[in-house]
Amino acid sequence: MIALGSDHGGYELKQEIKKYLDETGIQYKDFGCNSTESCDYPEYAKAVAQSVSKGECEKGILICGTGIGISMAANKVKGIRAAVCTDCFMAEATRLHNDANILALGGRVVGAGLAIKITDTFLNTEFSGDERHKRRISQIESV
């Protein structure tokens, strides 16, 4: 189960991501927002991050205008590693090296076609499991 969330700046891209998830048969839960009306991204970041942190959802996707604010908020939740990605290299690397559990996208930064490729890469790349990456991830937890 994938947790989805956005603010108004990410709402339209979230709808495109939902179409991709529907087509590929991936289940998701949308934590809002539900329109392009102006709203505050930390609320949706918190809902998605908590559901991933508790293990209710395996991974999350958060979208705001840039992907930055919503990832900053999500990263305040213990155990969350949210990564803003603007290309497929970043999406692959953050799964391999950081075991990122939330993908953050900017609805005003990337087009729907690229965002879907980034999402596909993120969801289909496993963590490498390398000791050096495990060590660094555990160091993040103790910062």
Helix or strand or coil: residue 61? strand
Task: Give the residue closest to ligand RB5 by C-beta.
Answer: 69
Question: Known catalytic residues?
Answer: 64, 97
Minimum gap (Å) between residue 43 Cβ and ligand RB5 = 12
Among 68, 88, 93, 114, binds ligand RB5 (CB under 6 A): 68
109/75 Cα distance (integer angstroms): 20
Q: Residue 121 is inside which H or E element, if any?
A: helix 112-123
Rounded to a whole number of angstroms, the CA Rg of the chain reads 14
Residue 63: both structure tokens together: 């979208």
Q: How far is the CB of 67 from ligand RB5 (least distance, A)?
A: 7
Any contact of residue 60 with ligand RB5 (CB under 6 A)?
A: no
Handedness of CA 132, 140, 120, 57 (dihedral sign): positive
Per CB under 6 A, 69 contacts ligand RB5: yes
Binding site for ligand RB5 (CB under 6 A): 7, 9, 41, 64-66, 68-69
